[in-house]
Amino acid sequence: MKKEFAVIGLGRFGGSICRELSSEGMQVLAIDKDEEKVNEFKNIASHAVILDSTDEVSLKEIGISNFEHVIVAIGENIQASILTTVILSELGVDRITVKAQNDYHEKILNKIGAHQIVHPERDMGRRIAHNLISNNILDYLDLSDEHSIVEVKAGLKMKGRTLIDLDIRANYGCNVVAIKQGKSINVSPMADEVLQEDDVLIVIGADIDISRFEKNLVIDD
């Protein structure tokens, strides 16, 4: 059975979410108070409606509480984002994901019923920053406020050495959970695995430990 989503706010972030969910075959209701944006998604989403999400009566009329997951992707209008979240929570929506503008916005959202809070600009900034530091850092994903998972390319400092030689867990407190070699992926690699140049390590750990690991083994001098 297909999941049913509603996306409120069709800017860059909300529009991207709407497109991806629709391309995966999900039922998506696209909502925005801007007629031009709604018209853009009429042929992309299952349904698209012009609506002010701070109007509780309007949300009730479209049956918003029947949707399993509502994503509040409102842009810079923090007040509208907060009020929309309050209404959705009071109407009993099962799952509410909200885009936060800043940490203060996140604190409020946590108190008023948001189940998941995302910071797309901040998170993308972190990923880009890590990639700028070194071409060997391919991707970076926050798992929590203090833990992350990172994809790194085995550079000169790791080439020809085994995992037991590097002893990444003992020296840096991080765990190598997989190694990608070309199109294949080795999950839970053995300690005597010899790393080749351009192998990709998937490493998980605390942010402070990952930072030490990157500085000492990933970033080529």
Q: What is the CATH number of domain 123-218?
A: 3.30.70.1450
Question: How is residue 162 annotated by DSSP?
Answer: B
Q: What is the pTM of this model?
A: 0.68
* Spatial distance between the Cα atoms of 78 and 98, rounded to a whole number of angstroms: 11
Average pLDDT over residues 2-22: 91
Superfamily of domain 4-118: NAD(P)-binding Rossmann-like Domain (3.40.50.720)
DSSP 37-106: HHHHTTTTSSEEEE--TT-HHHHHHTTGGG-SEEEE---S-HHHHHHHHHHHHHTT-SEEEEE-SSHHHH
State which of 63-67, 99-103, 139-143, 196-200 shows the largest mean pLDDT.
Answer: 63-67
Residue ranges, CATH 3.30.70.1450, the chain? 123-218
Segment among 61-70, 75-84, 100-109, 120-129 with least mean pLDDT: 120-129
Q: What is the mean pLDDT of the chain?
A: 90
Dump pLDDT digits (tens) for 20-59. 999 888 999 999 999 999 999 999 999 999 999 999 999 9
Query: What distance lies between CA 114 and its chain's CA centroid?
Result: 16
| pLDDT reported for residue 1 | 52
Residue ranges, CATH 3.40.50.720, the chain? 4-118
Q: How many CB atoms lie within 10 A of CB 180?
A: 16
* Spatial distance between the Cα atoms of 31 and 50, rounded to a whole number of angstroms: 6
Dump pLDDT digits (tens) for 121-171. 777 777 777 776 777 888 888 787 788 899 999 988 999 999 999 999 999
Q: Is the pLDDT of residue 62 over 90?
A: yes
| pLDDT reported for residue 57 | 96
